[in-house]
Structure 1
Amino acid sequence: MIILDPIAVSDPGVFVSSNVPEDDTAPTQILTRVYAAGDAVMDPATHTKFESKLGVRAVAAISIGSPGVVTWAAHGLVAGTPVSFTSTGLLPTGFLPDVVYYLVAPATNTFQLSATLGGAAINTSGSQSGVHSAAAGQNFGRALSDKTYWLPVGATNRWKMFDAYNNTQTERADSIVIEIDPKAIAQGVYLGNVDAAEIIVTSTDPTAGVVYRQVTSMQTSSSGSSFYRWLFGRRRRRSYFLTLDLPLYYNTRVKIEIKNPGGIARCGMCNIGPIEDIGFSQYGLGTDIKDYSTTRFNFDGTSETTERGFSKRMTLDVVLDNDMIDYVQEWLAARRQKSLVYIGAVEFGSTVLCGKFSSFKNVIEGFTNSKMALQIEGVV
């Protein structure tokens, strides 16, 4: 049993670069504009996307006059409600896009706006063009941590491969290329839920230059010894990548290239870090998956299935030397709520999973060796 202990890539100085742009949506402007329900924003500090839970949006007409009147059919808004505009063209003079105004003089289908809460209505002048969209609600200035107003919907595309979920994938046409400075002796790299034709891992030391380069084809065959199946059987690609032989350098820069020419390169999880060999996995190791999908049956026997993610699970017994018992138990206990990469048997990809142990039990069977039973729950 080998365990890869991942380094936090979000730590300062570890993440170097990625060719995946972080442009899922505009950075949040919670202090300068109003959002409608469903509007997405991005927090660059945490690389997380959020959706507004409250607020309404509609196409609005603005008159030129003193004051300018906004027409929004059956808006239902009350005085003091914050309002912001966006437009496909130009707003009339007096209003600017993505600026907060406050509703005054509400009527059934119209209202006026003030620059300050309870202030005088704004006059409009000049010309205007395009279609104007107005957003109204109380989420103006509300912190993204306030779950009354904001719903976290996951990491940005660039950072999905570094989040805590295997089923969320970073995607980019042709290739994903990242560079990492582990700031530690990192011996292993694990990529999960991968869609690629080829993986290239390069490790470069600032003094010695390139000290490691591995090019791995993700294509595999199930032909065995059958010539017929080799020629006519369906080819498939491995959905994971694992290497445990990075050289023991501390200051190397690791470049990972996930290539899928002519298609979409995808990666659900990227882990890099030192490894621990805690003992020998015994035969009898078991793996399965836990599917979080649900099926609802109707009165006539028809059914509706909601497909969700799944996680891998593994149970195994590990034989370890008695002089390692205390060390292994303390090492695992210190990481009891941390996701680690567990490798039951290198030759079987199904026994490689990222997750947390749900339990471990040690039995001292003899004078020199002991047995440890592990149950591991993979991440979704």
Structure 2
Amino acid sequence: MRIIEPFAVTSAMMLESNVPETDHPAWASATTYAAGQRVIFAHGIWESVKGGNTDHNPGADTTSTWWVRVGATNRWRAFDDRLGGLTTGGATITYSIALPRTLNAICFFGLNAESVRIKITVPGPTVIHDQTITLASRDAVGNFWEYVYNSFTFKPDLVITDLLMPSGARIDLTISAGSNAQVGEIMIGNDIRIGTTLTDTSLGIVDYSKKDRDEWGGIFLVPRPVTKTVSFRFAIPTEGAARVQKIMERVVSKICVFYAVEGEDPFGTTVAGIMRDYDLTLGAGRSFGTIQAESLA
């Protein structure tokens, strides 16, 4: 059982990207906006609530009197803590990020790509890591004929740990596809070992769709996002309980990556989301805990 605690990517850390930030015009204080017009401000897309909108700063409008934020720009959707919005590009999507502190893990979610390249350069400049990961995979099969006739697919999620990314390093990320490269979320952070994952870890989903029946029993569905839930069961030496407690207190209000096994995850336990519940029962020598995590929408 492990948790990757992400470090927020800020404007100061973003050195370069080939994804243009031209979704809409930049907000200008002297421009009068009509209802429904959209602008870019602080890497977000804002929509004017009503007409005659002049010199109202979107970032200062905390009551949405003049502006409502509808999401991040295409460039910054990869860092907006949501899986529903995708950063889209052409054959490649590239980001160059400067690290203000030492980190050791990178995660990608919602990929539509053939490969991902991670290049790490330290001042000098010296390249200390350059790795290209091919995302092609084949679903598990039951016999030879399924192997022959099942087509290849591309993994949508990728978790890379045990990286050396020292403070001051430059991280160059390249997401490559034949065309229309996409990524839902990129998280850079530290990988923290919690304990040993147990076999009674369980999977589930939460469906936020609206389901009603009329007086004749007919069903009306309003589709809404479905999130994945994982109830991780783990064990730790009891002397490590205080350490785990402090980690849980730190990540309880953060979006993190929760996962059960290193490398390929054949069970689908990897979750980028929030911790809904946590419990640790102390025992003599060995203690047992549960972490309930729910994915982002």
Whether these two folds match at TM > 0.5 is: yes
Match of 1:37 among 32, 35, 38: 35
The reply on whether 1:228 has 2:224 as its aligned counterpart is: no
Q: Offset at 1:325?
A: 0.9
Amino acid at match of 1:155: A
Corresponding residue for 1:143? Answer: 57
Task: Indicate conservation of the 8 Å contact 1:223/1:233, yes or no.
Answer: no
Give runs of aligned pairs for residues 87-166 of structure 1, distance below 5 A: 137=52, 139-144=53-58, 145=61, 146-166=63-83
Amino acid at match of 2:55: G
Give runs of aligned pairs for residues 245-264 of structure 1, distance below 5 A: 245-247=162-164, 249-261=166-178, 263-264=179-180
Q: Offset at 1:227?
A: 3.0
The reply on whether 1:240 has 2:236 as its aligned counterpart is: no
Q: Offset at 1:300?
A: 6.3
Q: 1:118-175: CA deviations, max 9, x gaps?
A: xxxxxxxxxxxxxxxxxxx3x2222322402211101011000100211111111111
Give runs of aligned pairs for residues 1-380 of structure 1, distance below 5 A: 1-10=1-10, 12=12, 14-29=13-28, 31-43=29-41, 46-55=42-51, 137=52, 139-144=53-58, 145=61, 146-207=63-124, 209-224=126-141, 226-247=143-164, 249-261=166-178, 263-297=179-213, 304-346=220-262, 347-348=264-265, 350-367=268-285, 369-380=286-297
Instruction: For residue 90 of structure 2, give the secondary structure of its aligned residue in structure 1.
Output: strand
Q: Offset at 1:299?
A: 5.7
User: Which blocks of at least 5 consecutive residues in structure 1 are unaligned?
Assistant: 56-136
Task: Indicate conservation of the 8 Å contact 2:138/2:153, yes or no.
Answer: yes
Task: Indicate conservation of the 8 Å contact 1:313/1:378, yes or no.
Answer: yes
Using the alignment, how far apart are the partners of 1:53 and 1:230 within structure 2? Answer: 54
31-40 or 17-26, which moves further after superposition? 31-40
Instruction: For residue 325 of structure 1, give the secondary structure of its aligned residue in structure 2.
Output: helix
Q: Offset at 1:301?
A: 5.9
Task: Indicate conservation of the 8 Å contact 2:234/2:290, yes or no.
Answer: yes
Using the alignment, how far apart are the partners of 1:226 and 1:21 within structure 2? Answer: 46
Aligned residue pairs: how many? 292
Amino acid at match of 2:16: S
User: Which blocks of at least 5 consecutive residues in structure 2 are unaligned?
Assistant: none
Between Structure 1 and Structure 2, whose CA radius of gyration is higher? Answer: 1
Using the alignment, how far apart are the partners of 2:6 and 2:140 within structure 1? Answer: 35
Note the aligned Cα RMSD (angstroms).
2.0
Using the alignment, how far apart are the partners of 1:378 and 1:278 within structure 2? Answer: 19
Using the alignment, how far apart are the partners of 2:296 and 2:100 within structure 1? Answer: 25
Q: 1:37-71: CA deviations, max 9, x gaps?
A: 2111110xx2111111112xxxxxxxxxxxxxxxx
Q: Offset at 1:225?
A: 6.4
Using the alignment, how far apart are the partners of 1:17 and 1:224 within structure 2? Answer: 42
Corresponding residue for 1:98? Answer: none
Using the alignment, how far apart are the partners of 1:207 and 1:273 within structure 2? Answer: 24
Using the alignment, how far apart are the partners of 1:35 and 1:375 within structure 2? Answer: 45
222-231 or 182-191, which moves further after superposition? 222-231
Distance 1:264 1:276, change over 3 A: same
Counting aligned pairs with the same residue, the percent is: 24
Task: Indicate conservation of the 8 Å contact 1:196/1:258, yes or no.
Answer: yes
Q: Offset at 1:354?
A: 1.3
Task: Indicate conservation of the 8 Å contact 1:3/1:277, yes or no.
Answer: yes
Q: 1:65-88: CA deviations, max 9, x gaps?
A: xxxxxxxxxxxxxxxxxxxxxxxx
Instruction: For residue 32 of structure 1, give the secondary structure of its aligned residue in structure 2.
Output: coil
Distance 1:239 1:140, change over 3 A: same
